[in-house]
């Protein structure tokens, strides 16, 4: 299906290799004459890849006459590989891309200290943003046993960070079970969930040095794509059975996490020192992945309180009527609000 948001003929830009096998696409001005020393690196969610988040087209148009160019990237976990990914590897690759962008812009424009870089994440991209800002730098150890080739690097500082549609994967799957899905009843889905939980826990316990995948016939019952395999470790990270007391790596945004848990994520952004500016958080008011029992305004207020005024951007908030990815036919107004918020944020950076 052809996207209704991306124009025929596409947007001009440059394809960069930031590692031997991973690329980032820089959207540039049509004439190529606009000076764009500043950069936004955009991260999509689970299943996204190079420029697959459709509202990115609105941001590209808005930024073409500005001093900012926007980059979309591929990660090892892009497209159908998200089920084999984990946030440490994602943020290491993001750091490599940021290093490349900084060196590239410095060589092109000079005066590297005056060039700004902002990291913006959609959905699970928001988890990457918060993981990037809150975890030890570099990530401790030499990589998990099941990902032995991972080499942790020092993550560069950011001038700004934006999280759009940060949602809880754990609460999303609870919503699916609560309401039923694809003709299956809540009881049927709960039975499948319990089976997957048992298989995943057994898989991790029995295989310390490599990861194993779960049956697609079971994972697809919850809406996970039928062409995407999901490892035991990533499934457990997404559903986080130890929450809320002991949340997994991916469980950053659940509404039932306590102050102690939030203090280890939002609460340490300031002290880690990786964010020179402030963190802007934009929640979609009509996000399909957020259960009705979650009070979005109260959740946002809790995150703000834990992060602190010195970290939290004043334009953070809920975008009324916005769907999860702002890709529905009725999303023109929410998309315009999103673009206005982002442009205002960049002016402050």
Domain boundaries, the chain: 13-168+254-348, 171-239
Q: Across residues 19-36, what is the average pLDDT?
A: 90
Judged against a pLDDT cut of 90, whether residue 69 lies above it is answered with: yes
pLDDT confidence tier of residue 265, bands split at 50, 70 and 90: very high
Task: Specify the range with the lowest mean pLDDT, choosing from 112-116, 236-240, 339-343.
Answer: 112-116
Alpha-carbon gap, residue 299 to 251, rounded angstroms: 14
- Work out the average pLDDT over 261-277: 97
Please report where in the chains the tokens 């990902």 appear, as a residue: 147
Looking at residue 2, its pLDDT comes to 58
What pLDDT does residue 240 have? 98
Top pLDDT among 208 and 23 is at 23
| Model pLDDT, residue 144 | 72
Q: Please, what is the average pLDDT of the chain?
A: 94
Query: Percent of the chain at pLDDT above 90?
Result: 86
State the pLDDT at residue 157: 97
Segment 321-330 shows an average pLDDT of 94
Residue 1 reports pLDDT greater than 60: no
| Residue 37 in this model has a pLDDT that exceeds 60 | yes
Find the helix or strand (DSSP H, E) in which 327 lies.
none
pLDDT at 195: 98
Is the pLDDT at 209 greater than 80, yes or no? Answer: yes
- What pLDDT was estimated at residue 39? 98
pLDDT tens-digit readout, 100-126: 999 999 999 998 888 999 999 999 999
Q: How many CB atoms lie within 10 A of CB 226?
A: 8
CATH of region 13-168+254-348: 3.40.50.1820
The predicted pLDDT at position 10 comes to: 86
Residue burial 230-252, b: 16+ Cβ < 10 Å; e: rest: bbbbbbbbbbbeebeeebbbbbb
> Is a pLDDT exceeding 90 seen at residue 140?
no
- The DSSP result for 145-186, as a single string, is GGGTT----PPPPBSEEEEES---HHHHHHHHHHH-BTTB-H
| Residue 320 pLDDT | 97
The pTM (predicted TM-score) of the whole model is 0.95
pLDDT at 174 > cutoff 80: yes
Q: Note whether 290 and 178 are within 8 A (CB).
A: no
Quick count: other Cβ atoms within 10 Å of Cβ 148? 11
Range 140-148 average pLDDT:
73
Report the C-alpha gap between 239 and 197 in whole angstroms: 9
Does 148 score more than 80 pLDDT?
Answer: no
Helix residue ranges per DSSP H, 36-145: 56-63, 87-109, 124-134
**Count of CB atoms situated within 10 Å of the CB of 211:** 17
């Amino acid at each position: 299906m052809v996207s209704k948001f991306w124009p025929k003929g596409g947007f001009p830009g440059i394809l960069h290799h930031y590692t031997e096998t991973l690329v980032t696409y820089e959207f540039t001005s049509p004439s190529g004459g606009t000076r764009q020393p500043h950069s936004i690196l955009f991260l999509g969610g689970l299943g996204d890849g190079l420029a697959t988040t459709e509202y990115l087209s609105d941001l590209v148009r808005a930024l073409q006459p500005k001093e900012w160019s926007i980059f979309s990237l591929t990660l090892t976990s892009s497209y159908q590989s998200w089920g084999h990914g984990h946030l440490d590897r994602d943020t290491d690759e993001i750091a490599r891309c940021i290093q490349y962008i900084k060196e590239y812009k410095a060589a092109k424009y000079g005066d590297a200290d005056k060039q700004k870089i902002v990291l913006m994440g959609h959905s699970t991209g928001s988890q990457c943003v918060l993981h990037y800002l809150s975890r030890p730098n570099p990530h401790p150890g030499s990589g998990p046993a099941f990902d032995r080739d991972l080499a942790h690097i020092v993550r560069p500082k950011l001038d700004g960070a934006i999280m759009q549609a940060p949602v809880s994967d754990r609460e999303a799957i609870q919503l699916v079970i609560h309401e039923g899905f694809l003709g299956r009843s809540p009881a049927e889905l709960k039975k499948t969930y319990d089976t997957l939980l048992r298989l995943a826990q057994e898989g991790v316990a029995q295989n310390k040095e490599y990861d194993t995948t779960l049956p697609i016939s079971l994972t697809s019952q919850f809406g996970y794509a039928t062409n995407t395999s999901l490892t035991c470790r990533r499934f457990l990270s997404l559903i986080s059975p130890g929450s809320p007391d002991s949340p997994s790596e991916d469980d950053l945004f659940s509404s039932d996490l306590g102050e102690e848990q939030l203090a280890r994520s939002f609460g340490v952004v300031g002290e880690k020192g990786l964010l020179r500016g402030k963190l802007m958080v934009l929640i979609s008011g009509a996000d399909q992945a957020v259960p009705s029992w979650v009070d979005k305004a109260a959740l946002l207020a809790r995150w703000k309180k834990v992060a602190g005024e010195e970290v939290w951007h004043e334009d953070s908030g809920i975008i009324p009527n916005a769907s999860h990815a702002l890709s529905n036919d009725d999303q023109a107004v929410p998309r315009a609000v999103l673009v206005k918020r982002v442009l205002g944020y960049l002016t402050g950076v």
